[in-house]
Structure 1
Amino acid sequence: MQRRHFLSRSALLAASLPTVQAWAQPGATFPTRPITLLVPYGAGGPTDTHVRAVADAAGKLLGQPVVIDNKPGANGVNGAALLPKAAPDGYTLAILPASVYREPHVQKTPFDPRTSFSYIAMLSDYAFGLAVRADAPWKQWKDLAADAKKRPGRINVGATGAVGTPRIVMDEAASEAGIDLNVVPYKGDADLANAILGGHVDAGPLSGIAVPHIASGKMRYLVALTKDRIKRYPDLPTLREQGVNAWIDSPYGVAGPAGMDPALVKRLSGVFQQALNSPGSLRALESLNQPVNYMDPDAYRTYALQAYEREEKRVAKLRAKGLL
């Protein structure tokens, strides 16, 4: 019943959007050839899975394929690094993850989030929870925090990326809670999920990859690492509700090189909005436990500038702690 209700609401939303013909008039000069969409993660991962569904729908709306080009590595900024080299004609686009706003403060990058991109459409955000094995001794965050106070530095918490958002938020959460966790970096969510299941670490922030393990009874969430409760797990409290003002804000969206025609940016934003609400995209989001999080070009750019300033402060704190 919940799934039917979710899809029916989404269908109503999609029906309220502009029709396909509004964005793909036969006389339009764009596009006349395939569009390349750079995805800064490997094939088969959560982001790639969702973006492929969006790209398929967008290609049908535009009348030309939107071709995925995977560029994994470099903390997810390989797509952003290539955009400044591309012509601002709309034929080369990239997925921008949250690390794009942090990396320029960590090291020199060939892009500046303030000036290097034409922000087109925010798409979605990951819904993280703090995952443990089903037989873990803690039932909720407060249990783990109490144990950590008794055994400082003895509870191992895995997190993706040495300076990734999950790692930073776990450090922030531990600091706010007055506890000492041993945070262990992992290359990706799949590696971390296997480490939790294998007992190599005690816990770790996981997004959609945890859903099938929770459904099979092998894992559970202690607490939601989102700003608000997760719709799939409405009884799971957030860290904020537990008195710890920390959450993982890690959205991704589509951008092009700086200097794109504003009319083209607006047109592409409308296409990606429709594609985001297509049946294939909604099915992918449901399976990954992610929300629709569309932002138009102006709202997306405003978010990006705010995120860039926030990450500058975060990186300064990491350096002060000797973590960078």
Structure 2
Amino acid sequence: MHTNDTRRRFIGRTLLAGLGLAGLAAAPMASAADYPDKPIQLIVPYGAGGPTDALLRTLATQASQQLGQSIVIENRPGANGTFGAAMLARARDSHTIAVIPATVFREPFLAKVPYDPLKLTYIIGLTDYVFGLAVRQDAPWQSWQELAEDAARRPGRISVGMAGATGTARIVLGEIADAKQLDFNFIPYKGDSELTTDLLGGHVDAAAMTGTAVQYISSGRMRYLAMLTAERAELFPDVPTFRDLGVEAWVDSPFGLAGPADMPPAHVQRIHDAFKAALESPQGRQALASLNQPLNYMAPQAYADYARQAIEREKGRVEYLRAQGLVN
């Protein structure tokens, strides 16, 4: 009798424990309909005031209205734009998302990184940086040809700035310099804000600038000599591309949003839908236009496929950097 009572009590406790575990297992699924239930942290891996920050602040304002929760932007410049991916690797739930630039796919081939780009959850592709080679309005060169001729006469004396020591713009500018047998003094910056200040202040002669340059070109303080794009920019149709100038080199640098590994599909869809609506809103379209950036939308699966392809492509770019002695 004592044995049977003990056995019944054991079975009862086991069933209760099982029910408790089942409840815990079901909790994430039950909460999916309520997601997000607290503010979303959005990591922008560049400084405040740059083009990425400006665009995401506009999109976050619109997306937060769709989600019913605020989206708090945290600027984390440095590490070649990979701080967002690193923070996703440590994130505990779907309330942390981050901007993923192309350098996230390149850095694992350059150094040990605290994230695996294949394990991130890709949510939505947003746009593509549009780069141009900019100079101050009072610069002595009226065209790329004049700058190139001066660089040929004075090897290593003309300075060209860009964001990141191993960024896509640095690689493409290096390819252009090699093709034309020119020797520039390339100077890396943490982001466009610092680069803009130095270009306007005369501390650097030319710079690979994103949409940050648009406001300064409009106000007559800068001008583009050539676009680092595959086709001419809609906002600057008279500015030639380097392809127009005989060099098959351009910057291809899409970016979007990702979440932590194993982010529930329902959560992915919620964030995707909110940012897609924001991207297509009048405010989102205007933000893109003001930065001279195209709409480059990718759904979650398409963005994940792009990420896998980009990882393979970046292997080749790192080989170029090593051949140039830019990395070990």
TM-score normalised per structure 2 = 0.85
Q: What's 1:12 paired with?
A: none
Q: Does 1:93 align with 2:97?
A: yes
Distance in 1 of aligned mates of 2:247 and 2:53: 32
Q: What's 1:51 paired with?
A: 56
Q: CA deviation at 1:156?
A: 1.6
Q: CA deviation at 1:197?
A: 2.3
Q: What's 1:218 paired with?
A: 221
Q: What's 2:136 paired with?
A: 133
Partner SS for 1:242: coil
Q: What's 2:233 paired with?
A: 230
Distance in 1 of aligned mates of 2:54 and 2:38: 23
Q: CA deviation at 1:225?
A: 0.8
More divergent stretch after superposition (300-309 vs 279-288): 279-288
Q: CA deviation at 1:255?
A: 0.5
Where does the alignment leave 5 or more consecutive residues of structure 1 unmatched?
Answer: 1-26
Q: What's 1:78 paired with?
A: 83
Within 5 Å, give how 1:278-297 maps onto structure 2. 278-297=281-300
Equivalent pairs, count: 296
Aligned match for 2:309, one of 306, 311, 323: 306
Q: What's 2:156 paired with?
A: 153
Q: Does 1:203 align with 2:206?
A: yes
Render the CA deviation track for 1:126-148: whole Å, top value 9, x for unaligned: 21110012222322222222332
Larger CA Rg, structure 1 vs 2: 2
Distance in 1 of aligned mates of 2:270 and 2:184: 47
Q: Structure 2 counterpart of 1:225, which letter?
A: L
Distance in 1 of aligned mates of 2:279 and 2:109: 31
Q: What's 1:317 paired with?
A: 320
Q: CA deviation at 1:101?
A: 0.9
Partner SS for 1:83: helix
Q: Structure 2 counterpart of 1:93, which letter?
A: I
Checking the alignment, whether the CA contact within 8 Å between 1:132 and 1:220 is kept in structure 2 is: yes
Identity %: 56
Structure-2 change in CA distance of 1:37 and 1:190 (3 Å): closer
Q: CA deviation at 1:31?
A: 2.1
Structure-2 change in CA distance of 1:62 and 1:130 (3 Å): same
Q: Does 1:184 align with 2:187?
A: yes
Q: Structure 1 counterpart of 2:33, which letter?
A: A
Checking the alignment, whether the CA contact within 8 Å between 1:176 and 1:245 is kept in structure 2 is: no
Distance in 2 of aligned mates of 1:196 and 1:32: 44
Partner SS for 1:162: coil
Q: Structure 2 counterpart of 1:177, which letter?
A: K
Q: CA deviation at 1:204?
A: 1.0
Distance in 1 of aligned mates of 2:170 and 2:144: 17
Q: CA deviation at 1:33?
A: 2.1
Q: What's 1:6 paired with?
A: none
Distance in 1 of aligned mates of 2:106 and 2:123: 20
Q: What's 2:263 paired with?
A: 260
Partner SS for 2:38: coil
Distance in 1 of aligned mates of 2:186 and 2:257: 31
Q: CA deviation at 1:81?
A: 0.3
Q: Does 1:113 align with 2:145?
A: no
Distance in 2 of aligned mates of 1:218 and 1:31: 44
Q: RMSD in angstroms over aligned alpha carbons? A: 1.8
Q: What's 1:172 paired with?
A: 175
Q: What's 2:147 paired with?
A: 144
Distance in 1 of aligned mates of 2:41 and 2:120: 16
More divergent stretch after superposition (94-103 vs 67-76): 67-76
Q: What's 2:196 paired with?
A: 193
Aligned match for 1:30, one of 35, 49, 54: 35
Structure-2 change in CA distance of 1:306 and 1:177 (3 Å): farther
Partner SS for 2:33: coil
Where does the alignment leave 5 or more consecutive residues of structure 2 unmatched?
Answer: 1-31
